[in-house]
Amino acid sequence: MLEYLNYAKSLFINGEWLEAESGESETVCNPATLETFARVAYAGKNETERAIEAAAAAFPDWSQKTGRERSVYLYRAYQLMMEDVDRLASLLTREQGKPLKEAKGEINSAASFLLWYAEEASRGYGEWLPSSVPSKRMLVIGHPIGVVGAITPWNFPSSMITRKVAPAIAAGCTVVLKPSPETPLSAIAIMEIFEKAGLPAGVVNMVTGDAQAIGNAMLTNKAVKMITFTGSTATGKYLMREGANQMKKVSLELGGHAPIIVFEDANLEKAATLALASKFRNNGQTCICANRLYVHEKVAESFTALLKEKVQQLKMGDGMQEGTDLGPLINEQASKKVHQQYEDAIGKGAEIVCGGLHEGHANTDLKGYYFPPTVLANATDDMLIMHQETFGPLFPIQLFSNDDVAIQKANNTDYGLAAYIFTENTSRTLRVAEKLEYGIVGVNDVFPALSEAPFGGIKESGNSKEGGHHGMDEFLEKKLVSIAVD
Ligand code: ADP
């Protein structure tokens, strides 16, 4: 029996751990067992105002430190996280459900953002512009934007936080974080790491509780200059609309509907292995995970057979147990959506290649919201699954015979986050990659999210980049210094 975790003092404000003013708290549920196993503070407007005040008070000193000085704290935080991977991973699995091996991968990835931005902190280069007027010199310098409100989701409870907070504080900003109510424990653990790393009070703060009230406090307080958000497109649009009232910068990482195109010259073994990895990682609850497969008709039979064989080997269960490949879905709402897309597809003529509800659950002892990994053939464009984000282990296949049609279908969505192609042909790679309307194109690769690379979508998938030097740039305002020289 694992211990019950009481974090009634989960608010981290100005370097202190506090409870909600009302004394209210909310529970955290293990999605694999549906047991509540922890409690965190349920705060709102007042606590958020205090956190913003603390962040604003910390900003002048923090922003005036050199990049090198800020780098030291981030590097310490990186080391502390790497020393504690096992504990942090099991905490993450317990609140989020993903298999422990994936949770360890996520903690390593979360730490990699701390390391990368520890390095980038000292590289806030400006620009020297050759002027067209002989008596002028022009420089462009980057200024930290100010207090940043960071709002994060539950699907990557650790790496989504470091991917925002590390570049923000590397750039010289201060932060108020609001983690997802489903996964506050990983966020608390990250605050503890920053505290241990000796980060000055107020540089990073965290408020858990009422999303609407916390969001509203961030949106209406003039000290908050920027909101960085990862989550649903609907909430992202709301934040952008409301942020406009004070012309806040609103950086958004939203949903996706990634296509995978398997061309006839693809290495099918590689394509099937990676398509599976992309679709079923985190049980399909990843904004860049494959949502639909377009397979050339000449290779469809062989590819589908390979994919089926691999999917049938996946083991569904509690992520804490050795050998689990697929955990539960996060909650009932997520499960309902997957069921709805499944029923809709079957009703419109999709054929079950493997999985599906007729087989029942692989393990009837499972209590959480599990859905068997399922591949569907004969997917048609009118099915919900072909245009709504699934966030679950359902994989529809549609055949094609012409590259241009496959590209047109891949682009026929309001989303534009990630797309993947499998081909061994260089000309085709470049031709197709250039035509795909996505912020990220993976070529024989489904793991593009590394700390050194710019991650982000276009269209309704978002408007910013996280990772790489581009990720730190988001937190720097550009100032032109134009100097007349006698
Ligand atoms: P999901 O449906 O995947 O949980 P959301 O967009 O609802 O996606 O949630 C992502 C994050 O946004 C979570 O931390 C959630 O609490 C937060 N959130 C949801 N609604 C609001 C809001 N009105 N203001 C601020 N944050 C919000």
Q: What is the CATH number of the domain that holds 477?
A: 3.40.605.10
pLDDT category of residue 1 using cuts at 50, 70 and 90: low
Q: Is 157 in the pocket of ligand 1 (CB under 6 A)?
A: no
Same domain, 129 and 15: yes
In ligand 1, the atom with minimum distance to the C-alpha of 235 is 6
Residue to substitute in 42, 148, 151, 250 for testing ligand 1 pocket (most ligand atoms within 8 angstroms of CB): 151
Same domain, 84 and 155: yes
Same domain, 75 and 190: yes
Q: Is 200 in the pocket of ligand 1 (CB under 6 A)?
A: no
Q: Is 207 in the pocket of ligand 1 (CB under 6 A)?
A: no
Domain range holding 466? 5-254+462-482
pLDDT at 360 (0 to 100): 53
pLDDT at 365 (0 to 100): 74
Question: What is the per-residue pLDDT across 272-293, written as a single tens digit (0 to 9) for each?
Answer: 999 999 999 999 999 999 999 9
**Is there a contact between 242 and 451 (Cβ–Cβ < 8 Å)?**
no
Average pLDDT of every residue of the chain: 97
* Structure token digits, residue 147: 């207090």
Q: How far apart are CA 361 and CA 279, in angstroms?
A: 19
Residue 325 Cα to ligand 1 midpoint, Å, equals 27
Question: What is the per-residue pLDDT across 92-129, written as a single tens digit (0 to 9) for each?
Answer: 999 999 999 999 999 999 999 999 999 999 998 899 99
Does 121 map to a domain? yes
Q: Is 209 in the pocket of ligand 1 (CB under 6 A)?
A: no
Residue to substitute in 177, 180, 207, 216 for testing ligand 1 pocket (most ligand atoms within 8 angstroms of CB): 180
Q: Helix or strand or coil: residue 148?
A: strand
Same domain, 115 and 250: yes
Contacts of 143 (CB under 8 A, 6+ apart): 63, 172, 476, 477, 478, 479
Cα–Cα distance list, 396 to 338, 369, 373 (Å): 12, 21, 11
Average pLDDT over residues 332-336: 97
Residue 239 Cα to ligand 1 midpoint, Å, equals 10
* Structure token digits, residue 396: 């529809």
* Structure token digits, residue 278: 């992309």
Same domain, 195 and 326: no
Alpha helices in 281-370, H assignment, sequence order = 300-311, 332-347
Average pLDDT over residues 315-334: 96
Q: How far apart are CA 281 and CA 275, in angstroms?
A: 10
Residue 155 Cα to ligand 1 midpoint, Å, equals 12
Q: Helix or strand or coil: residue 28?
A: strand
Same domain, 29 and 98: yes
Does 456 map to a domain? no
pLDDT at 22 (0 to 100): 98
Q: How far apart are CA 315 and CA 324, in angstroms?
A: 5
Q: Is 57 in the pocket of ligand 1 (CB under 6 A)?
A: no
Which of 305, 298, 308, 311 is closest to 399 using CA atoms? 298
Q: What is the number of residues in the chain?
A: 486
Q: Whose Cα sits closest to atom 14 in ligand 1? A: 180
Q: Is 331 in the pocket of ligand 1 (CB under 6 A)?
A: no
- 25 pairs with which residues across the strands? 41
Question: What is the per-residue pLDDT across 340-387, written as a single tens digit (0 to 9) for each?
Answer: 999 999 999 999 999 999 755 445 678 899 999 999 999 999 999 999
Does 98 map to a domain? yes
Name the pairing type of β-strands 418-422 and 440-443.
parallel
Does 219 map to a domain? yes
Cα–Cα distance list, 98 to 90, 95, 151, 322, 343 (Å): 10, 9, 21, 12, 25
Q: Is 423 in the pocket of ligand 1 (CB under 6 A)?
A: no
Average pLDDT over residues 20-39: 97
Same domain, 191 and 213: yes
Residue 154 Cα to ligand 1 midpoint, Å, equals 9
> Of 2-11, 86-95, 133-142, which range is least confident?
2-11
Does 455 map to a domain? no
Residue 241 Cα to ligand 1 midpoint, Å, equals 15
Residue 20 has pLDDT above 90, yes or no: yes
Average pLDDT over residues 207-219: 98
In the chain, the number of structural domains is 2
Q: How far apart are CA 276 and CA 375, in angstroms?
A: 10
pLDDT at 76 (0 to 100): 98
Cα–Cα distance list, 308 to 244, 259, 294, 304 (Å): 48, 18, 15, 6
Q: Whose Cα sits closest to atom 17 in ligand 1? A: 211
pLDDT at 364 (0 to 100): 61
Q: State the residue for tokens 């390095």.
A: 119
Q: Is 44 in the pocket of ligand 1 (CB under 6 A)?
A: no
pLDDT category of residue 404 using cuts at 50, 70 and 90: very high
Tell me the CA end-to-end span of the chain in Å, nearest whole number. 77
Same domain, 248 and 262: no
Does 130 map to a domain? yes
Residue 463 Cα to ligand 1 midpoint, Å, equals 17
Does 74 map to a domain? yes
214: enclosing H helix or E strand: helix 211-220
**Three-state SS annotation for 82-140:** HHCHHHHHHHHHHHHCCCHHHHHHHHHHHHHHHHHHHHHCCCCCCEEECCCCCCEEEEE
What CATH number should be reported for the domain holding residue 262? Answer: 3.40.309.10
pLDDT category of residue 320 using cuts at 50, 70 and 90: very high
270: enclosing H helix or E strand: helix 268-280
Residue 12 Cα to ligand 1 midpoint, Å, equals 20
pLDDT at 161 (0 to 100): 98
* Structure token digits, residue 145: 């934007």
Average pLDDT over residues 261-266: 98
Same domain, 96 and 237: yes
Average pLDDT over residues 158-166: 98
Q: How far apart are CA 378 and CA 477, in angstroms?
A: 49
Predicted complex: ipTM over 0.95: yes
**Is there a contact between 91 and 102 (Cβ–Cβ < 8 Å)?**
no
Same domain, 280 and 214: no
Same domain, 268 and 120: no
Average pLDDT over residues 432-443: 98
Would you name the residues annotated as active-site residues? 253, 287
Contacts of 135 (CB under 8 A, 6+ apart): 484, 485, 486
Q: Is 180 in the pocket of ligand 1 (CB under 6 A)?
A: yes
Question: Cα–Cα–Cα angle for 219, 223, 224, nearest 5°?
Answer: 45
Same domain, 418 and 373: yes
pLDDT at 353 (0 to 100): 98
**Is there a contact between 257 and 233 (Cβ–Cβ < 8 Å)?**
no
Question: Cα–Cα–Cα angle for 9, 334, 42, nearest 5°?
Answer: 15
Does 431 map to a domain? yes
Average pLDDT over residues 304-321: 97
